[in-house]
Structure 1
């Protein structure tokens, strides 16, 4: 009888703890990476108040996770960083019984995610896309003196002969070490997935040669393009289309285009995961399940121009977007795209060192 009473007490205590979880959710995600109404809708449906903070690079997120006690319930790591973070034990396993919408996720994307998260036990896919170059076409052509744009758009950023001419109208690089290094490797014709330390020497020389012509470092140079601060920028695919849309909405003469290199581009996937020490794990599961509803994700994809992981959203997506091969690549385009894969921690640190030298222009 005492044992039965103890079991009942433990069960009641667990239920009490769950019921006592305060109506708060702390989310840490990329900037410009959630729908305008998404959080408001979640708060309205659940009564859970969302505190939403943003970061500029995977490196910033990783530093906070490895330090521990971040205070966040949901974070948005890219798949290429997920493996190292899982090895460090920073995420808790998902309770899929609390995620009924998980069954709607694309099996093909789940197989890709399983390369970093075996069994997809700790993360769910959010959005995916590419990284390449956006140009303010008319200004770039004028800066080039009527010379046509190069066949390889990455040359605008990494070939000093082009970058020097664009110096007056402005070049923007990402503030992310991993993104800058990967784009440089692709331009050099090297496979980022091979993770060869010797390739970084070639990248270092390339970055040093173009550093005098870089005006802006930004995680999302949308406003820099729209305001005319730069005429060429390394950028995420969706951000390039947001910049083009904002220019049109402002009746600006700027024609902003997103260009993929014939050598390819990085294909990346961002995820959602719950830190091991998340203060509100039940609220986090409610949020993840909400974010796997087709009508919610369709609104996000239509607004942010990124594909998602839910096949059921396809009929709800803007057909003009799904027909654009730069946003929704066909088989031929997909064949040119590169996944970064997991980067060994020592090589990751070397990438950060190399990038900081580039950004700070601390060459001797």
Structure 2
């Protein structure tokens, strides 16, 4: 969902079907028919077409781009037997799972000459692969809070407890996402967004159910951007690209978008090479190429994303980001919590469906 709202930007992106066709090299090792083709399995419209074409020109190859809309779709397709992809871009929880299940190949560190541009804060948060053996960060993002300044009073809390503010009653929404909403409450209470402590989770549930939910119109995973733009919602939790993707640019000055200083849940999409990649050398070149500051800046400019992963890219950007990258400093990655997810699901059911 978080990638889908800028689809018009990259309408020329290439899509391909399953890559199962192969031939035998003289040594009997399976190989793709065209060894100058790189197969990229990525989020929909997540890499600018210009970047792909420039890479093709420089390295004398072709990039085939197949897309997915969720980590679950990507993972299930690969576990279901899909072959032929070289690079995949999972979020942090699925990257962790795929490392543990042996689905990824270690990167050629001698090719990663641009790793020096990666923000150390990002690697410190990526506890599942802090040395970047398997994963090179692509984008670090977080949901925040959007306030309609024309509707709101002159003062309001700039933290997650803004959802308890009665001035927004009947005009507020939060995402229909248990890890995001429960994570917000945990962060506001000074706890980890990955907490499995029963007492901490109970405290978070009470905060949401008793203080926040009474002001909400609903929990909304898809339409909050349109409803905010139309003026129905004055306050919403969500991704900046969804909100600003719906509000006309000449009215962006009416939106106060911020990520609270107390932090909150975040995600980190990373470029990884699959275990059975047939184009390992070219895949390493592509991953390193993306992290050239002048190339990475093209990606950021396409979405008006803040510069957090590759700090050197800032000087090459030509657009103004939707919010300051520094707002994400205190955010915490939503990690794979295994069977602990059952606790969140139980709490979420009680929040969502109990008056």
Query: Partner of 1:183 in structure 2?
Result: 184
RMSD after superposition = 3.9
Instruction: Please give the TM-score of this superposition, normalised by the length of structure 1.
Output: 0.71
User: Aligned with 2:147: secondary structure?
Assistant: strand
Does residue 150 of structure 1 match 2:162? no
C-alpha distance in 2 between matches for 1:64 and 1:354: 26
C-alpha distance in 1 between matches for 2:221 and 2:55: 29
Cα offset, 1:223, TM superposition: 4.0
After TM superposition, the structure 1 = structure 2 runs for residues 18-167 of structure 1, keeping only pairs within 5 Å, are 20-21=34-35, 23=37, 25-29=39-43, 33-35=46-48, 37-39=50-52, 41-42=54-55, 46-55=61-70, 60=72, 64=76, 67-69=79-81, 73-79=86-92, 82-97=95-110, 99-106=111-118, 108-109=120-121, 111-112=123-124, 115-117=127-129, 119-139=131-151, 141=152, 147-157=153-163, 159=164, 161-162=165-166, 166-167=168-169
Query: Partner of 1:312 in structure 2?
Result: 312
Query: Partner of 1:265 in structure 2?
Result: 264
Cα offset, 1:181, TM superposition: 2.0
C-alpha distance in 2 between matches for 1:116 and 1:220: 33
Cα offset, 1:235, TM superposition: 2.2
**Distance change in 2, residues 1:63/1:150 (3 Å):** farther
2:325 to 323, 328, 334: 328
C-alpha distance in 2 between matches for 1:222 and 1:339: 24
C-alpha distance in 2 between matches for 1:42 and 1:229: 44
User: Aligned with 2:27: secondary structure?
Assistant: helix
Cα offset, 1:122, TM superposition: 0.7
C-alpha distance in 2 between matches for 1:169 and 1:100: 48
> Cα deviations across residues 223-273 of structure 1 (Å, max 9, x unaligned)?
443344532222235555x44xx6343x44871111233433345533222
User: Aligned with 2:143: secondary structure?
Assistant: strand
Cα offset, 1:329, TM superposition: 1.5
Contact 2:150–2:254 (CA<8 Å) still a contact in 1? yes
C-alpha distance in 2 between matches for 1:11 and 1:113: 42
The structure that is helix-richer by fraction is 1
Query: Partner of 1:247 in structure 2?
Result: 247
Q: How many residues are paired up?
A: 326
Instruction: Please give the TM-score of this superposition, normalised by the length of structure 2.
Output: 0.72
> Cα deviations across residues 76-128 of structure 1 (Å, max 9, x unaligned)?
3333553344223332222345x444444326257426621153211001122
**Distance change in 2, residues 1:308/1:188 (3 Å):** closer
> Which sections of structure 1, spanning at least 5 residues, go unmatched?
1-9, 142-146
Contact 1:267–1:338 (CA<8 Å) still a contact in 2? yes
Does residue 289 of structure 1 match 2:288? yes
Contact 2:173–2:224 (CA<8 Å) still a contact in 1? no
Query: Partner of 1:200 in structure 2?
Result: 201
**Distance change in 2, residues 1:47/1:177 (3 Å):** same
> Which sections of structure 2, spanning at least 5 residues, go unmatched?
1-23
C-alpha distance in 2 between matches for 1:285 and 1:17: 17
